[in-house]
């Protein structure tokens, strides 16, 4: 009896397994990446990164469980490139994650790469170039993972995918940003804001009484946007690939790299069309040119022939808008707050000047500087030394995480700007933040930084929200937790592409021994290195003989001699260049104010703590 039941069960399980395997399919995209011309804002035609001669780029769509294969040929001629599939955990396929010099070599013009991984997640994601700050040139688009089992499948009739982004008229390579003439690190001001890659007006056809799933993704490089629909509320059902319990809301704040899926139920009447409004967060902009339109109206279209009215904008400034706080969203799976962490990383963000006079970003005084060998390849080639953070160099800011440790990141902000931080390979629990999203978000902007105090914090949520990109408030802090259950080399970085360029990122080398056991680098990825002339063995300095000898490693610029301040640099630069640059620049720096600097180490080198595999706190 028992055996036959066991046998039956075994056959049943096998049958189910076969059904599942039979359902999963391989979805293949061939991307020939070349420059094409586009004029999405109707103001200026420019070259953008196209795929197979097209821009906007194709939305990647797969079903949960599918094998996604993307064959990319770099036909740009001038630029190296790569693709990061944002939000994909790449569990056991770390080498498919995409960031250049982290998990692969840059794909030089004329070279090809194949990405190939299983998608075992659901929801709204996106893909973008992750080499040398290339995605503001248009190399970014949504990636949707359909899930026939989602709890909200029966709750809607149709779905729409919509992106929003900032937009520049200049090519990234022509924008002078890290430069002594820009000592405050004032970010380039976008020339326009796009909604689904146009400024021409998007109409979402609405049928009376039907419900629509709107997938919203901010694929911009810099500016967050508020989103609301006149005279409609909606239910939030997903953030960054994590289903949430339905939460009624009327306004969202969507930073770059964040995604929301919402359910909108159509009204019964068809007389009117309703503005669907985006408002760029102007607090992020150091100057607001008079011709830059911050808010845009698109429509829920109930009636093609009726008027399409412009939004009646609230009178208040953006900082008074009151979006839903993402920390209040409860994951549908009700994963509980993780226990006290095995490893606590106490990190502090600051904007500084180095001795070249330009503005840089540091986390605990380190400005991310790419290594000479991609960090994953150092893991693969360093044997037993892979658990020693030193082999990854001093400026990749690598922390070694132990397998299955609970990790807590405390991120304090010395800077008066906000920073949407993204972790590759994971989502994390949102445990604490001050100030929170909403009308108080900018409360500390003009006051002294407030650091997280473990002995005096608000009560942690029982079921913390989870996502992969979380905004660090000006002069405030956040605390997140995750389990290091995905061996790999993962970047943790600000998703404002300009800030990443300034070094606002660091590297988690998670469970290096397990990485070595589980990872096979395909020959094609080594060929990418060969084409680029980049080494694929050795430490961060490319040394294959002595992995602890970092001589020749890439370094961040030197600190300013004591006594120099940003104000001093600004004054110096002013006296030299203001005469040439004229009023525009004076206005720019006059408005931007001076960001914080810090010359003494903010904390002791936390790498030391990280180089042993498990630090209990
Ligand atoms: C990519 O597209 C360009 C321009 O259409 C074409 O010249 C080139 O042959 C294509 N390359 C590949 C590998 O498809
Ligand atoms: C993708 O990976 C799977 C699993 O490792 C493998 O079976 C398949 O051949 C690969 N496909 C390509 C195009 O590399
Ligand atoms: C993904 O979808 C499954 C099935 O619908 C669901 O149980 C799971 O919670 C979803 N994942 C997340 C992170 O929400
Ligand atoms: C948004 O743009 C994508 C890519 O061009 C397109 O596939 C999609 O249909 C657009 N969505 C709407 C609602 O127009
Ligand atoms: C639309 O009409 C139906 C049937 O009369 C009603 O149940 C529903 O509540 C109405 N919906 C709205 C949004 O008013
Ligand atoms: C929206 O745009 C209009 C026209 O550009 C402007 O007058 C108004 O102040 C803007 N509102 C907000 C909140 O930015
Ligand atoms: C659509 O709008 C027009 C113009 O306001 C109106 O005449 C017409 O009745 C409306 N149609 C429906 C189906 O509501
Ligand atoms: C605890 O934090 C609150 C809120 O930030 C602050 O007002 C209070 O002074 C703090 N208490 C102590 C003892 O530090
Ligand atoms: C990765 O896969 C392992 C099982 O192979 C699982 O235990 C772990 O939770 C996964 N991690 C993530 C981040 O998906
Ligand atoms: C984190 O580091 C900062 C700067 O050194 C320090 O002021 C703060 O007390 C530290 N926080 C914790 C929780 O250790
Ligand atoms: Cu930032």
pLDDT tens digits for range 425-444:
999 999 999 999 888 899 99
Is the same domain home to 70 and 119? yes
CA 226 – CA 253 distance, rounded (Å): 4
Other Cβ atoms within 10 Å of 219 Cβ, number: 25
What residues sit around ligand 11, an ion, with C-beta below 5 angstroms?
Answer: 419, 494, 496, 499
For every residue of 534-600, DSSP letters joined together read --SSSSTT--SS-TT--TT---PPPBPPTT--HHHHHHHHHHHHHHHH-HHHHHHHHHH-------S
Domain-ending residue, one of 309, 331, 353: 331
Helix (H, G, I), strand (E, B) or coil at 11: helix
Closest CA to 548 of 590, 611, 488, 493: 611
Tell me, what's the pLDDT at 119?
98
Instruction: Give pTM, 2 decimals.
Output: 0.90
Closest CA to 366 of 499, 509, 557: 557
Closest residue (by CA) to atom 6 of ligand 2? 116
d(CA 76, ligand 1 centre) in Å: 10
pLDDT tens digits for range 395-415:
999 999 999 999 999 999 999
Is the same domain home to 255 and 134? no
Closest residue (by CA) to atom 5 of ligand 5? 268
- For ligand 1, whether the C-beta of 73 sits within 6 Å is yes
Tell me, what's the pLDDT at 603?
33
Nearest ligand 5 atom to alpha carbon 267: 13
Q: Is the pLDDT of residue 598 over 80?
A: no
Report if residue 228 sits inside a domain: yes
pLDDT tens digits for range 209-260:
999 999 999 999 999 999 999 999 999 999 999 999 999 999 999 999 999 9
Ligand 9, pocket residues at CB < 6 Å: 89, 91, 426, 485-486
Cα Rg of the chain (Å, integer): 24
Contacts of 356 by beta carbon, 8 Å cutoff, 6+ apart? 180, 557
pLDDT tens digits for range 169-186:
999 999 989 999 999 999
Q: At how many degrees (to 10) do helices 583-592 and 566-581 cross?
A: 160
Is the same domain home to 270 and 394? no
Is the same domain home to 402 and 322? no
Is the same domain home to 172 and 317? yes
What is the layout of strands, in order, in the sheet containing 84-86?
60-63, 140-146, 123-128, 84-86
CA 550 – CA 98 distance, rounded (Å): 25
Q: Is the pLDDT of residue 558 over 90?
A: yes
Region of residue 16 (left: phi > 0; alpha: psi -120 to 50; beta: else): alpha
Other Cβ atoms within 10 Å of 294 Cβ, number: 18
Ligand 5, pocket residues at CB < 6 Å: 209, 265, 267-268
Q: Is the pLDDT of residue 573 over 80?
A: no
Domain-ending residue, one of 486, 511, 532: 532
Q: Is the pLDDT of residue 595 over 90?
A: no
Residues in a beta bridge with 161 = 215
Closest residue (by CA) to atom 13 of ligand 3? 242
Tell me, what's the pLDDT at 605?
30
CA 365 – CA 356 distance, rounded (Å): 16
Closest residue (by CA) to atom 5 of ligand 9? 91
Is the same domain home to 307 and 384? no
Is the same domain home to 443 and 510? yes
Closest residue (by CA) to atom 10 of ligand 5? 268
CA 12 – CA 271 distance, rounded (Å): 55
Residue 312 burial (10 A CB sphere; 0-12, 13-18, 19+): exposed
Closest residue (by CA) to atom 12 of ligand 1? 32
The phi and psi torsions of 500 (rounded to 5 degrees) equal -65, -40
Among 243, 245, 260, say which to mutate for ligand 3: greatest number of ligand atoms within 8 Å of CB. Answer: 243
Q: Report whether 177 contacts 156 (CB < 8 A).
A: no
Report if residue 590 sits inside a domain: yes
Closest CA to 176 of 10, 388, 359, 315: 359
> Which CATH number does the domain housing residue 279 bear?
2.60.40.420
- For ligand 10, whether the C-beta of 74 sits within 6 Å is no
Helix (H, G, I), strand (E, B) or coil at 307: coil
Domain-ending residue, one of 120, 148, 176: 148
Q: Is the pLDDT of residue 292 over 90?
A: yes
CA dihedral 396, 221, 123, 93 (to 10 degrees): -30
Nearest ligand 10 atom to alpha carbon 603: 5
Q: Is the pLDDT of residue 580 over 70?
A: no
CA 279 – CA 556 distance, rounded (Å): 36
pLDDT tens digits for range 328-359:
999 999 999 999 999 999 999 999 999 999 99
Which ligand has the shortest distance to the CA of 124?
Answer: 3
Closest CA to 113 of 47, 29, 173, 27: 29
Pairing relationship of beta strands 158-167 and 211-218 according to DSSP bridges? parallel
Closest residue (by CA) to atom 13 of ligand 4? 160
Is the same domain home to 124 and 184? no
- For ligand 1, whether the C-beta of 75 sits within 6 Å is yes
- For ligand 10, whether the C-beta of 603 sits within 6 Å is yes
Report if residue 87 sits inside a domain: yes
- For ligand 7, whether the C-beta of 267 sits within 6 Å is no
Report if residue 226 sits inside a domain: yes
Report if residue 179 sits inside a domain: yes
Report if residue 40 sits inside a domain: no
Nearest ligand 1 atom to alpha carbon 75: 1
CA 493 – CA 79 distance, rounded (Å): 23
Is the same domain home to 260 and 349? no
- For ligand 3, whether the C-beta of 167 sits within 6 Å is no
Q: Is the pLDDT of residue 610 over 50?
A: no
d(CA 48, ligand 7 centre) in Å: 40
- For ligand 10, whether the C-beta of 346 sits within 6 Å is yes
Other Cβ atoms within 10 Å of 218 Cβ, number: 27
Closest CA to 117 of 241, 19, 28: 28
Is the same domain home to 509 and 368? yes
Tell me, what's the pLDDT at 319?
53
Domain interval for residue 141: 1-35+47-148
CA dihedral 206, 208, 209, 215 (to 10 degrees): 0
- For ligand 7, whether the C-beta of 270 sits within 6 Å is yes
pLDDT tens digits for range 67-80:
999 999 999 999 99
How much of the chain is helix, strand and coil, in % rounded to 5? 20, 30, 50
- For ligand 7, whether the C-beta of 268 sits within 6 Å is no
Nearest ligand 7 atom to alpha carbon 269: 14
For every residue of 368-411, DSSP letters joined together read ----SS-HHHHHHHSGGGGG-GGGG-TTTTEEEE-TT-EEEEEE
Report if residue 562 sits inside a domain: no
- For ligand 6, whether the C-beta of 288 sits within 6 Å is no
| Domain count for the chain | 4
Is the same domain home to 178 and 305? yes
Other Cβ atoms within 10 Å of 448 Cβ, number: 9
- For ligand 7, whether the C-beta of 303 sits within 6 Å is yes
Is the same domain home to 143 and 160? no
Q: Is the pLDDT of residue 2 over 50?
A: no
- pLDDT band, residue 554 (cuts 50/70/90): very high
Q: Is the pLDDT of residue 616 over 80?
A: no
Report if residue 541 sits inside a domain: no
Q: Report whether 444 contacts 472 (CB < 8 A).
A: no
What is the layout of strands, in order, in the sheet containing 225-229?
203-205, 295-301, 274-280, 225-229, 252-254
d(CA 495, ligand 11 centre) in Å: 6
| Lowest model confidence (mean pLDDT) among 304-313, 449-458, 608-617 | 608-617
- For ligand 4, whether the C-beta of 239 sits within 6 Å is no
d(CA 64, ligand 9 centre) in Å: 15
Closest residue (by CA) to atom 1 of ligand 2? 116
- For ligand 6, whether the C-beta of 313 sits within 6 Å is yes
d(CA 605, ligand 10 centre) in Å: 12
Closest residue (by CA) to atom 2 of ligand 7? 306
């Amino acid at each position: 009896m028992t055996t036959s039941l066991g046998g039956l069960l075994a056959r049943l399980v096998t049958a189910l397994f076969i059904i599942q395997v039979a359902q999963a399919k391989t979805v293949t995209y061939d991307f020939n990446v070349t420059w094409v011309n586009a004029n999405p804002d109707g103001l200026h035609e420019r070259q953008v990164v196209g795929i197979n001669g097209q821009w906007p780029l194709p939305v990647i769509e797969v079903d949960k469980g599918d094998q996604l294969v993307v064959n990319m040929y770099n036909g740009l001629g001038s630029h190296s490139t790569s693709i990061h599939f944002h939000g994909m955990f790449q569990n056991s396929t770390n080498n498919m994650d995409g960031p250049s010099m982290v998990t692969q070599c840059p794909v030089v013009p004329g070279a090809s790469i194949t990405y190939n991984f299983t998608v075992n997640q659901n929801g709204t994601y996106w893909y973008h170039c992750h080499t040398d700050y290339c995605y503001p040139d248009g190399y970014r688009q949504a990636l949707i993972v359909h899930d026939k089992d989602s709890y909200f499948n029966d709750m809607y009739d149709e779905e729409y995918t919509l992106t929003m982004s900032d937009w520049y008229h200049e090519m990234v390579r022509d924008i002078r940003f890290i430069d002594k003439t820009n000592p405050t690190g004032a970010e380039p001001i976008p020339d326009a804001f796009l909604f689904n890659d146009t400024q021409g007006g998007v109409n979402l056809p609405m049928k009376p009484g039907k419900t629509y799933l709107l997938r919203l993704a901010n694929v911009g490089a810099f500016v967050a946007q508020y989103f609301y629909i006149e005279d409609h509320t909606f239910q939030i059902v997903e953030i960054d690939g994590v289903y949430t319990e339905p939460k009624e809301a009327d306004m969202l704040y969507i930073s770059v790299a964040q995604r929301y899926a919402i359910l909108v139920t159509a009204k019964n009447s068809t007389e009117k069309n309703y503005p669907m409004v985006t408002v760029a967060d102007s607090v992020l902009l150091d100057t607001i040119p008079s011709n830059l339109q911050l808010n845009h109206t698109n429509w829920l279209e109930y009636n093609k022939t009726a008027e399409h009215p412009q939004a009646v904008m609230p009178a208040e400034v953006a900082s008074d808008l009151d979006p839903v706080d993402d920390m209040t969203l409860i994951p549908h799976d009700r994963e509980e707050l993780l226990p006290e962490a095995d490893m606590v990383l106490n990190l502090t963000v600051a904007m500084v000047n180095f001795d070249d006079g330009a503005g840089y970003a540091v986390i605990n005084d380190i400005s991310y500087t790419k290594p000479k060998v991609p960090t994953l390849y150092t893991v693969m080639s360093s044997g037993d030394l892979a658990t020693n953070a030193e082999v990854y160099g001093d400026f990749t800011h690598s922390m070694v995480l132990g397998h299955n440790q609970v990790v807590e990141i405390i991120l304090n902000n010395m800077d008066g700007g906000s920073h949407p931080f993204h972790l590759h390979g994971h989502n994390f629990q949102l445990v604490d933040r001050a100030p929170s999203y909403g009308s108080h978000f900018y409360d500390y902007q003009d006051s002294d930084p407030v650091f997280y105090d473990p002995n005096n914090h608000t009560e942690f949520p029982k079921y913390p929200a989870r996502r992969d990109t979380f905004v660090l408030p000006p002069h405030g802090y956040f605390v997140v937790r995750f389990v290091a259950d995905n061996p790999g080399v993962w970047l943790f970085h600000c998703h404002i592409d300009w800030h990443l360029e300034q070094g606002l990122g660091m590297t988690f080398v998670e469970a290096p021994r397990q990485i070595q056991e589980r990872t096979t680098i395909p020959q094609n990825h080594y060929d990418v290195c060969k084409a680029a002339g980049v080494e694929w063995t050795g430490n961060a300095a490319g040394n294959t003989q002595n992995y602890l000898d970092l001589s020749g490693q890439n370094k961040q610029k030197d600190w300013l001699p004591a006594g120099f301040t940003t104000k001093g640099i600004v004054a110096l630069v002013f006296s030299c260049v203001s005469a040439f640059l004229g009023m525009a620049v004076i206005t720019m720096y006059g408005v931007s104010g001076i960001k914080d600097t810090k010359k003494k180490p903010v904390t002791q080198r936390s790498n030391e703590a990280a180089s042993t595999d498990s630090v209990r706190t």
